[in-house]
């Protein structure tokens, strides 16, 4: 028997703002809300093929690069169109030492958390 990833937890200063951003990026919805965090996920809810994301409030300053980051793939448009969409909703380009020849784009969310937009177009779940 094995495990599977059911939730990702991201500590952040503003769970509201990041929930709005990541719901827009991933076409997720708010699933649960507690005093110090918000859980977002697919419309089907917890336990499906995609993990949910818990945005947990933390006033601790972030130090250094994240040791884990999220990669996303477009589902209904090509990479260039998806990059334009992500930039329009608040993502920003990031320089983490890439050469410019990579087939992916490195971006940051509104709190500066890195994520990558990959080239391959995936079928929506």
5-23 residue pLDDT tens:
999 999 999 999 999 999 9
| Residue position matching structure tokens 């448009």 | 77
72-105 pLDDT, tens per residue?
999 999 999 999 999 999 999 999 889 989 999 9
Class of domain 68-125: alpha beta
Instruction: Give percent of the chain with pLDDT exceeding 70.
Output: 99
What's the pTM value of the predicted model, to 2 decimals?
Answer: 0.91
CATH number of 1-58: 3.30.720.120
Domain boundaries, the chain: 1-58, 68-125
Contact yes or no for 115/72 (Cβ under 8 A): yes
Place of tokens 């779940």: 125
E strand spans, the chain:
7-12, 29-34, 37-41, 52-57, 70-72, 92-93, 105-108, 114-117
pLDDT at 63 over 80: no
Answer yes or no: same fold for 1-58 and 68-125.
yes
Amino acid 47: pLDDT? 86
Give ∠ CA 116-120-125 in degrees, rounded to 5: 95
């Amino acid at each position: 028997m094995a495990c599977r990833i059911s939730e990702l937890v991201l500590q952040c200063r503003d769970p509201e703002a990041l929930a709005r951003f990541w719901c827009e990026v991933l076409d997720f919805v708010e699933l649960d809300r507690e005093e110090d965090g918000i859980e977002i996920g697919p419309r089907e809810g917890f336990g499906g093929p995609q993990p949910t994301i818990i945005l947990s409030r933390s006033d601790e300053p972030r130090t250094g690069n994240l040791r884990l980051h999220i990669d996303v793939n477009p589902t209904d448009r090509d990479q260039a169109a998806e990059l334009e969409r992500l930039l329009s909703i608040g993502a920003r380009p990031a320089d983490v030492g890439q050469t410019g020849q990579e087939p992916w784009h490195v971006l940051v969310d509104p709190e500066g958390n890195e994520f990558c937009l990959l080239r391959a177009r995936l079928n929506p779940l």
